[in-house]
Chains A and B, each alone.
Chain A
Amino acid sequence: DAKTTQPTSMDCAEGRAANLPCNHSTISGNEYVYWYRQIHSQGPQYIIHGLKNNETNEMASLIITEDRKSSTLILPHATLRDTAVYYCIVRVAKGGNTPLVFGKGTRLSVIA
């Protein structure tokens, strides 16, 4: 079973920051937080991951609370193409051998 809780859906105005929360209160010390998104008719796309430090890449920023029980994915300037289902997943770091377990995710709608 998925170890994360996310809101079912969210709306965001185009050009504004989209902040997607995730609760993972039972996360273990050796588990990373991964974010993926799935745009309609495509496979899931990797966005970002982190262990305890905040992370940023060209797509998004990941903010992890100090107790690691929750995190927020930030899309700084949402566009219509960011409309997708966003999945927050915790995964043990074992050299990539542990498969991802998907929850229901958050359906983000970016509105013009």
Chain B
Amino acid sequence: SAVISQKPSRDICQRGTSLTIQCQVDSQVTMMFWYRQQPGQSLTLIATANQGSEATYESGFVIDKFPISRPNLTFSTLTVSNMSPEDSSIYLCSVALATGTGNQPQHFGDGTRLSIL
């Protein structure tokens, strides 16, 4: 498995500001994913982050609102831009270990709990 660290673990922000969430993994991983979990809801995939290429966003999520960086195989950032109260959620980083034709479980960090006032 992999150990995933997210920073910050929680934050309270003012509307209109932006926050960058960091995800650090203790091993090299092929794929990194960012999810959002709104209060009382399940997880929703925001985007897939590949090293060396642009992130791939899911329907309803755009790069201007959630820019993602993936500078190397162990690190990624997600920025939540121009925040509004509707962005109050838990944001989770997830990784899939490099593998061949088999299948490997995804592993998750404990998330960043974000509250917008």
Question: Which A positions have Cβ atoms within 8 angstroms of B?
Answer: 32, 34, 41-46, 49, 87, 91, 93-97, 99-105
Contact = CB atoms under 8 A, between A and B. Distances in A.
B78 to A, nearest CB: 14
Interface in B86-109: 92, 94, 96-109
Nearest to B107: A46
B105 A46 contact: yes
Contacts of B43: 44, 100, 102
B31 A43 contact: no
B33 interface: yes
23 contacts: A32-B103, A43-B108, A44-B94, A45-B108, A46-B1, A93-B101, A94-B103, A95-B30, A95-B100, A95-B101, A96-B30, A96-B96, A96-B98, A96-B99, A96-B102, A97-B96, A99-B31, A99-B45, A99-B106, A100-B33, A100-B94, A104-B42, A105-B42
Contact of A44 (B100, B103, B108): B108
A32 B103 CA distance: 9
Contacts of B54: none
Contact of B94 (A34, A87, A91, A99): A99
Nearest to A47: B105
A87 B34 CA distance: 18
B111 A43 contact: yes
